[in-house]
Structure 1
């Protein structure tokens, strides 16, 4: 059965800076202008310590053509027991997602994008996945299957979080090459209205299993940009993942589900602790706005601003003649 929820934080708040009244000029016509939301995006990936040479089993893509789009797929490592490379499915799924993003049928709908990308993926395997699309109006559309996650941070607080989907502990929903697996119809679908300055933090379970919300907020607050934030968050999660004494979110969840050390160790005060070694993928995005004339609202290429990618439509400004 498909799972679908909708979360709306507040109406989009895309304000332009104050300016003097516009006056017509005999030398240049007055052009109507509008505000559009864009994303400044940073990414960082750290493979599992034993999978560094192969690049790990996570995959992602970042793109944009009139909207900001990013996605993460986490290949299910259990396929290695069947002599199948788990990375092949997640990589092909992301490659297909990147290809279909401009398909007219997708129409800025992440669930349809998942459907088309999944149908076109021929590799054997399975993966958890999340896709997020930012419309020019500031509306973020999300579709996720499994336990890749996403959080929205506003003014130093987590204002929205996706919920993981699982069959049971450590067995998440997943898109699969097998007919018995989940499909895009099982995706958790969310819609969030964003404001300028909002931060989006998305990652594979290897990230969220090893870091707490307060740590995420602290790193975001201390980072000068999205590239730096993504790298710092991934490195902190990696540090926790190999720390056998760290009481990680994963360990806490395991204990709450009844998994713990033997009873005789409990008598000695021991408990199940430690991080979870895994591939770690982090995407950090900040919502920004640009002013764009109605007659120049297309054909603007992506550009670099402060070393960070603007994964959306480009920049212009209203004409002002004193």
Structure 2
């Protein structure tokens, strides 16, 4: 027992090496480290299939997507009723999307990234006659998705195989959605449904014109996403499945189910024979599929000092291997 105590209290022995004429290089106690931070970005895939009777002209939907500075995408569905007035419905939706894309570099939008403000500016700059339903979504670097929507374009967020967020359509009545218009009687950015949702790494966003959501159920969206190898493949697969359903007169689609719930159905005498209103809805089909990813990017604030073990108080700090002479 005594020997054990003596062992614990015995002074340490040091081995002293001969002093070198050239002191060794070592890392400074206050070496600079390159600061970095985690930012959310979108990997975006898109696909558009025009209405079968409008394939030659490209249809009346329009969209844009941009992965810079986090990510932004938008969809506009031109209202086909304008064709009855000899107005091409595609002109308004295409110009609205072109203006939306052009205003991304606007100084005000660079600061706040507000999709409602983007919609306001794009609408004010659009001179074509017509109207369109529209949705704009902007991902902040923090991971917050900000949305502004007028009408019945849709957006859903899928997390771990479940729809955890979905926006609701805006309608005056069945099959007559809110719409941004060249006419004073139409809606404006002030009528937009504005909302935001906090996203996580790996979340999937599915957005589209009503041609998608009128013809495809949530579970079909989830299974198609899970079976796809990437966002481009997922967008194409969803668009093709929606198109298949849209021309199937025996498919009981989301559109036909909603129509029946609003009182639209086959004549009473067909009901007596067991018939009901079914079938898909032929339309332009635009699909945007985006996956949220988290990346480490250099902090523009520059270097910070590393003190006593490089404490990691921020999301991530990538140390620079700097050595200084003593």
Question: How far apart in 1 are the matches of 2:182 and 2:222?
Answer: 37
Q: What CA deviation, in whole Å up to 9, does each residue of 1:156-204 have, x standing for no partner?
A: 0000001000000000000000001000000000110000000000000
**Partners of 2:39 and 2:70 within 8 A in 1:** no
Tell me which residue corresponds to 1:134.
Answer: 139
Tell me which residue corresponds to 1:224.
Answer: 229
Tell me which residue corresponds to 2:77.
Answer: 74
Task: Report the Cα offset of residue 288 of structure 1.
Answer: 0.2
Task: Report the Cα offset of residue 296 of structure 1.
Answer: 8.1
Does 2:251 correspond to 1:249?
no
Question: How far apart in 2 are the matches of 1:282 and 1:145?
Answer: 17
**Structure-2 change in CA distance of 1:290 and 1:25 (3 Å):** farther
What is the DSSP-based 3-state SS (H/G/I as helix, E as strand, rest coil) of the residue aligned with 1:318? strand
RMSD between aligned alpha carbons? 2.0
What is the DSSP-based 3-state SS (H/G/I as helix, E as strand, rest coil) of the residue aligned with 1:286? strand
Does 2:161 correspond to 1:153?
no
Structure that is richer in helix per residue: 2
Does 2:125 correspond to 1:120?
yes
Task: Report the Cα offset of residue 30 of structure 1.
Answer: 1.0
Question: How far apart in 2 are the matches of 1:274 and 1:319?
Answer: 60
Larger Rg: 2
Aligned residues: 282
Q: What CA deviation, in whole Å up to 9, does each residue of 1:269-303 have, x standing for no partner?
A: 10000000000000000000111121389xxxxxx
**Partners of 1:71 and 1:129 within 8 A in 2:** yes
Q: Structure 2 stretches of 5 or more lacking a match?
A: 1-25, 303-315
Task: Report the Cα offset of residue 317 of structure 1.
Answer: 8.0
**Partners of 1:292 and 1:317 within 8 A in 2:** no
Q: What CA deviation, in whole Å up to 9, does each residue of 1:25-52 have, x standing for no partner?
A: 79x8311211000000000000000000
Tell me which residue corresponds to 2:23.
Answer: none
Task: Report the Cα offset of residue 319 of structure 1.
Answer: 3.5
Following TM superposition, the consecutive aligned residue runs of length 4 or more in structure 1 with deviations greater than 4 angstroms are 23-26
Tell me which residue corresponds to 2:13.
Answer: none
What is the DSSP-based 3-state SS (H/G/I as helix, E as strand, rest coil) of the residue aligned with 1:105? helix
Tell me which residue corresponds to 1:91.
Answer: 94
Q: What CA deviation, in whole Å up to 9, does each residue of 1:37-81 have, x standing for no partner?
A: 000000000000000000000000011432300000000000000
Question: How far apart in 2 are the matches of 1:176 and 1:228?
Answer: 33
Question: How far apart in 2 are the matches of 1:257 and 1:224?
Answer: 38
**Partners of 1:25 and 1:321 within 8 A in 2:** no
Question: How far apart in 1 are the matches of 2:97 and 2:234?
Answer: 23
Task: Report the Cα offset of residue 255 of structure 1.
Answer: 0.1
Of 290, 293, 298, the residue aligned with 2:298 is 293
Does 2:47 correspond to 1:44?
yes
Does 2:172 correspond to 1:167?
yes
Question: How far apart in 2 are the matches of 1:174 and 1:24?
Answer: 63
Q: What CA deviation, in whole Å up to 9, does each residue of 1:197-232 have, x standing for no partner?
A: 000000000000000000000001111100000000
Of 251, 260, 263, the residue aligned with 2:265 is 260
**Partners of 2:41 and 2:141 within 8 A in 1:** yes
Question: How far apart in 2 are the matches of 1:102 and 1:280?
Answer: 28
**Partners of 2:249 and 2:278 within 8 A in 1:** yes
What is the DSSP-based 3-state SS (H/G/I as helix, E as strand, rest coil) of the residue aligned with 1:179? coil
Tell me which residue corresponds to 1:302.
Answer: none
**Partners of 1:34 and 1:291 within 8 A in 2:** yes
Does 2:206 correspond to 1:201?
yes
